[in-house]
Structure 1
């Protein structure tokens, strides 16, 4: 059973999602709030056995918007996987997703099948990233007039790409060190440099970056 939490200030949309998930035997809604501050407070009080695996987060909220909430959640609960639900499905927003380490970005007009597919993929692989998402980010990078905030793979060394490929297969620093005949400390240094170069906040951001730059394949669809 995949434990889901939802934060959206549109009460009807929130209730609709709860009703939708009530008919699914693969997911359970353990927390649903229409205010980000209440959501954070309730999350802090949640027992480990009921703590959500995934949070569905709206972008346009007040007083804390979705991106601000994501930054807070990633800082406090790095293992919590985040899926953005928004009407603003744009390439610059998708690009920002990489920086924040969000696991998926689903438009609010998506159907139930797509949403469930995304939830299952994020739970299983840590990320759900469609070809359309990939094309949007690549287009965003190709047509920016300013210096890109997300670098291309050409700016990573061969060794950094090798380390990144292994990170994407969920290998630990110790396992990567054994694979590449390096010390664990060297791998840790490579990982940190890659994070700094890419501008990602965590492993999810690195995986999305790797997918966009054809370093790692898209996860299989369900």
Structure 2
């Protein structure tokens, strides 16, 4: 029996390993690890840290900010990535409006206004039918507060200053899964379609009735797609 491929997960902004709890349980905890994306304020430094701690060859799964880190890992060490899953992310730069929003959130984090940040962002992160889902909201809020204001500001700074990434896509040699929620506002389906078209070997999956946080909005569906892709 072939040895299972190790899997490294990279969470999104203000999220912890709980973002991938269902997927890790489905794939098997022994083969999975979650990268720490809280210690550095550049995407490059986060990617270097991940590579220093990862197995020699592995599958890489990134959601949102985790996708930005995945792109940088592919830039720096493509030979180490056997497969990459890009969930609810984009290779496109921020709009001017988006950059202004990020600066506002960084300023709020530096004033330790995590509650206000949660109120301002939760409705953008989930499908509109889940905006009043108390259990889902509590999980997102708990992950943000577990991340903490200082780490959130570092993460947002890293995203704001991330390098250009779209030009990397045609050179990605490994198979890719591009998955997106049908109603993802921050990284919409058209971005996912353009990524999948640019990647040489990609499968595009769009989940109906799902927003930006697909792994916790539709955990069973995402776990099934990842299991099929990785195994």
For this structure pair, what is the TM-score category when the shorter chain's length is used for normalisation?
0.3 to 0.5
Structure with more contact order per residue of length (Cα contacts < 8 Å, sep ≥ 6): 2
Q: Give me the TM-score of the superposition, normalised by structure 1.
A: 0.40
Q: Give me the TM-score of the superposition, normalised by structure 2.
A: 0.39
